[in-house]
A and B are shown apart, each in its own frame.
Chain A
Amino acid sequence: MKDLQNFKYTLLGFISLMATSVFGMHKIEPCGHTHNKFSPLEIKCDLCGCTTTSGSFGFGTLSNANFVGLRYINQTFESKNGIYSNSPVSKETINTYQLWAQIPVKKVFMLSVNLPYQDLNREFQGKSQQLNGLGDASIVGWYKHVFYKKKTENKDKTIDYNTTKVATGHSLQFGLGAKLPTGTFEQELSNNVNPGFQVGTGSLDAMLSLGYNYGSNKFGINTLATYYFKGENKNNYQFGNQLSLSTKAFTVFKTSKMNIMPFLGFSHDTFKEITQYNETLKDTNGTLTTGTIGSEFVVKQFIFGANYALPLSQDLFGGNVTSKSRFSVYVNLAL
């Protein structure tokens, strides 16, 4: 435990150092829409302490809400290569491998860290282009406010020595984070219709997040709203700010061996236009609404998850880029 504590502070220190060193660069900027997003499910899941089989699913045991894990995300796009309606189309696949963790810092503070590795592939007119490398790492600090039941006074005004707080199941969380330009941004690739086909954005981005969660024994719901302030990179290229809204609803099935938590959700993203040299580039904004379906499985110390997302409506890059589908699988080890 002591080692773990030290580790936490070491990690914190390291991250602060990184944050200050890259602060000297330009502004902070979270990713273009191809980048990994914080799936609220994971955060919520840990917060609700679903690591324990005996499990109560409220926001009770926070000290168990930490993990280290590996996640794989697959995203596919189709982009029109050319300015005409019948210009040929390229297929893009983005494979992201993440090392991610959620580390509690104090009772009400947590830190999410994410280190991705990107493997991108584009197919166009029979030719294949590959791009891989370290992606943009990110860290978010969270403050969580759990709502507890009000204590009812005993009728006889005797002091209640039972100091255990009972959670209502509702909670709010506030996040403040940064995405670091650890991945390489290639200016030439930004000349494609889909400039998100990159390993990194080369920019330091900031994000603000607000979430509301509810969890009970059987059922839970999570909503999260995040706003990304995207910075300018050294090519004076700046992705547009992004607003991300998502909501998920899940239930719990318990078996002797594991807990199964299937869920359904929706998310909506709005991207503002990309600017370069402080000038707006036409047709570089977009909106995307997706539906997600998935499930988590908790077995002893392990949490396995899989989800699949399909776009319900979209208008990206003036209609020139189409998001096809997304799925991800992950395996976490509760800390």
Chain B
Amino acid sequence: MGAVILMPALSPTMTEGKLARWLKKEGDAVKSGDVIAEIETDKATMEVEAVDEGTITSILVSEGTEGVAVNSPIAELDGGAGAAAQTMHGITNKNPRENEKMIADSGTRQRMEGTVPAAPHTPPPSAEKDWGPTKPITVRDALRDAMAAEMRADKDVFLMGEEVAQYQGAYKISQGLLDEFGAKRVIDTPITEHGFTGMAVGAAMTGLKPIVEFMTFNFSMQAIDQIINSAAKTLYMSGGQLGCQIVFRGPNGAASRVAAQHSQCYASWYAHCPGLKVLAPWNAADAKGLLRAAIRDPNPVIFLENEIMYGHTFECPTDDDFILPIGKAKVEREGTDVTIVAFSIMVGMAMQAAEKLAEQGISAEVINLRSIRPLDTETIANSVRKTNRLVTLEEGWPFAGIGAEVAMQMVEACFDHLDAPPVRVHGLDIPMPYAANLEKLALPRLEQVVDAVKSVTYK
């Protein structure tokens, strides 16, 4: 049975090459693995190995020939039982119709490149329900209570991180958890973010549900490869087989006077990546309700807390089942003249600005995003359609920031309703300075929010 040896492609981009040298001649016997020729591309010289055994009956392309197209016949082989299988003939003879279909399909694929199917639209979850009586607690206790409740309910949930156990948490978020759950479920790790994050992701791939505390999110950069390449992408790369139920939590953004390496907002970094959910609570109810939802969510969730908020006290529902939906923003204050969109600690500043603006006769609606990804564009758009004006507020840098994304989404969703270009209030586009006066200037200030609102309302 005769067979044809074809010009092989030696890289995904190779279309043709030079047949530099034959190492076998007509009449030579070859077996699997023998080098039969050398091929030169613009990048390299490569050896061509025989795949199966047989005898070379004729050489069709002489050595030194340039521009030999990939998949064109270069020699004929006679013999061995497996010989036919190494050729395109072997395949076309076997199933010619399938082969034609393959070629037709590849043509279709090229034509389809301009018409990629649109992303499915997921309707946001229904509005927040009324959870009844509340009591005042700190954000710190709300976070602890959320973890404790989920750990009681599910033995696969555990907490790991630096100083989370014996030290009771660098910021005392895990106070009392070691006593209640023991050293196997509240685990002190060495200071090795890359290693322990990868370890937690691996454990999550088997079905465990780790909560990984970063002492601050600044240190998550050491582990960002494991978060994005391993945690966020594996579900897709496995065709849906291997999910990763894991929460990465800790303080994010500027604290106070800790300078550039310890004062940075990661909302935009993580929100950029498909396969992750990104949450940012403001008050105690957000912290408790969203963290419980994050721990139960079957996907990797980035949970961005704020150190300054830990000690603040807010009313929080006392219902044992209290939980908040992921992907739903909250209108914290209703208004008619302008929409201020903020998240985390900046929601407080937006509320203060609204208060000040009210004194001046301007009615501001304040939206607490709660969830950065997925983003509740519907709630924001409904508000903008009513107020016709948008101001975004964040601590992070402006370039490719959350404000930029919210503004663009509103331009796409309700351009005709906007009576003024949206305005972003944000941290300055610089590393955070240490000096008290400079740090103050680098972060958003209340008067900037008020001014931004006045500029979009032309007042």
Chains A and B are bound partners: no
Residues of B within 8 A of A (CB): none
Interface positions of A (Cβ within 8 A of B): none
